Amino acid sequence: MEASSEDGPRTGRRWSQWVVLGAELALACVLIVAWYWRGDFREESLGGVAFAWILFMVRTCMFQIGVAVAVAMVVFAAARAWKLVLGGVPALVLSLMPTGALYLGDERGAVEGEPLRVMSFNVLASNARTDRILGQIGEHNPDLLVVQEVTRWRHEALAGELGEAYPFVYRVAWQPWFGMSVFSKRELVGAEEVFAGHRRQALRFEIEVGDGRATVWAIHPPHPLMPRLVRIGRHQFADLLEEIDATPGAKIVVGDCNWGRTSPQAAVLASLGFRDAFDLGGSGRGVTYAFRGVRRLVPGFRIDHVYVSEELSSERAWNGKAVGSDHRPVVAEVGWAE
């Protein structure tokens, strides 16, 4: 008996389905490994750094992975490939579960006394609209303002316009023309540059919060798009953890962290009692990046954060507008936890 002429295509389709099903289950396994893996933040080997980078990107992009899986499942359902639809369920659940927790959780922050309004804004070094940046600062009126990607001329322009309203100013220059600036209505007590051995140093200081003080780290680690920069960023985070461990009292970590809310770094901070102020006082995903070019067509990320230790909390947190930048500012009112 001769084989049907349709047997070849049918066999090919069956093998294709098994390959796709295997890829779906493999993705679910990768998501599980990425979720539970921490690793050594001082890893030096190229292989170790590359492995850390892969799992970091998987964790950072979990929501985006979930959206892609959901779209694929819709396509499979339209093609009546029900085996592939079911095969995608584990990856879909694992990737969207952290975002779902934002909407299912009922934890809200509550503070005592007068809060400190904190604003972090990566303004983009090439942004020509200083007037619109100043408009965002005026609209949100922070007590403590941390600005990243600040050129020397931008710092001078902001300092000149903000003037007496923000008498306490500190500029951290990574190069003569590029860095981070801090403007404050309250005194920056003991301001000191830290992590000087890395590509980008940070600023540590104490500031008044209600009737007490909190230690603040204003940070902007390098972007995680090159292995060398991944290593530097992980080493800087390890230094931050050592400083947190050695510093008593209330603490705030603020800045363009270049890591997402599902990243290993965020998980470690959570294990130390830190919470993202936006999770406490905000609503939704709190996306802060990216809002320029083709990247804005992809579901965005929250990589700008205000983290508070367990002594502190936040009742209100929100995002501003991306005025000429690829970031939106994040603003949070931080006070002593009730």
Task: For residue range 50-70, list pLDDT tens digits in order.
Answer: 999 999 999 999 999 999 999
- Domain assignment present for residue 67? The answer is yes
Mean pLDDT of 66-83: 95
Looking at the structure, do residues 248 and 290 belong to the same domain, yes or no?
A: yes
So what's the pLDDT on residue 106?
A: 60
So what's the pLDDT on residue 122?
A: 97
pLDDT exceeds cutoff 50 at 1: no
Both tokens assigned to 79: 């093609």
Last residue of a domain, one of 104, 137, 171: 104
Domain count, the chain: 2
Mean pLDDT of 195-224: 91
So what's the pLDDT on residue 38?
A: 81
- Domain assignment present for residue 1? The answer is no
Looking at the structure, do residues 145 and 286 belong to the same domain, yes or no?
A: yes
So what's the pLDDT on residue 235?
A: 92
Mean pLDDT of 250-258: 97
Q: The CATH number of the domain where 120 resides is what?
A: 3.60.10.10
Looking at the structure, do residues 220 and 157 belong to the same domain, yes or no?
A: yes
Give percent above pLDDT 90 in the chain. 78
Mean pLDDT of 227-240: 90
Sign of the four-CA dihedral 254, 257, 261, 267: negative
For residues 319 and 329, is the Cβ–Cβ distance under 8 A? yes
So what's the pLDDT on residue 10?
A: 66
Alpha-carbon radius of gyration of the chain: 23
Looking at the structure, do residues 63 and 117 belong to the same domain, yes or no?
A: no
Determine the distance from the C-alpha atom of residue 256 to the mean position of all C-alpha atoms in its chain, rounded to a whole number: 7
So what's the pLDDT on residue 261?
A: 92
Mean residue pLDDT across the chain? 92
pLDDT exceeds cutoff 60 at 265: yes
Last residue of a domain, one of 104, 138, 169: 104
- Per-residue pLDDT reduced to its tens digit, 164-209: 999 999 999 887 677 999 999 999 999 999 987 666 889 999 999 9
- Per-residue pLDDT reduced to its tens digit, 315-334: 999 999 999 999 999 999 99
- Domain assignment present for residue 307? The answer is yes
| Greater pLDDT, 12 or 157 | 157
| Greater pLDDT, 248 or 44 | 248
Question: What residues make up the domain containing 178?
Answer: 111-337
pLDDT exceeds cutoff 70 at 71: yes
So what's the pLDDT on residue 110?
A: 82
Q: Please choose, from the candidates 230, 309, 176, the residue with its C-alpha nearest in 3D space to the C-alpha of residue 53.
A: 230
pLDDT exceeds cutoff 90 at 280: yes
Looking at the structure, do residues 207 and 326 belong to the same domain, yes or no?
A: yes
| Greater pLDDT, 96 or 298 | 96
Rounded to whole angstroms, how far apart are CA atoms 118 and 120? 7
pLDDT tier, 7 (very low <50, low <70, confident <90, very high otherwise) = low
Looking at the structure, do residues 210 and 189 belong to the same domain, yes or no?
A: yes
Last residue of a domain, one of 79, 104, 129: 104
Looking at the structure, do residues 132 and 246 belong to the same domain, yes or no?
A: yes
pLDDT exceeds cutoff 60 at 3: no
Looking at the structure, do residues 121 and 265 belong to the same domain, yes or no?
A: yes
Looking at the structure, do residues 208 and 316 belong to the same domain, yes or no?
A: yes
- Per-residue pLDDT reduced to its tens digit, 90-131: 999 999 999 888 777 666 788 898 999 999 999 999 998 999
pLDDT exceeds cutoff 70 at 4: no
- Domain assignment present for residue 48? The answer is yes
Looking at the structure, do residues 126 and 270 belong to the same domain, yes or no?
A: yes
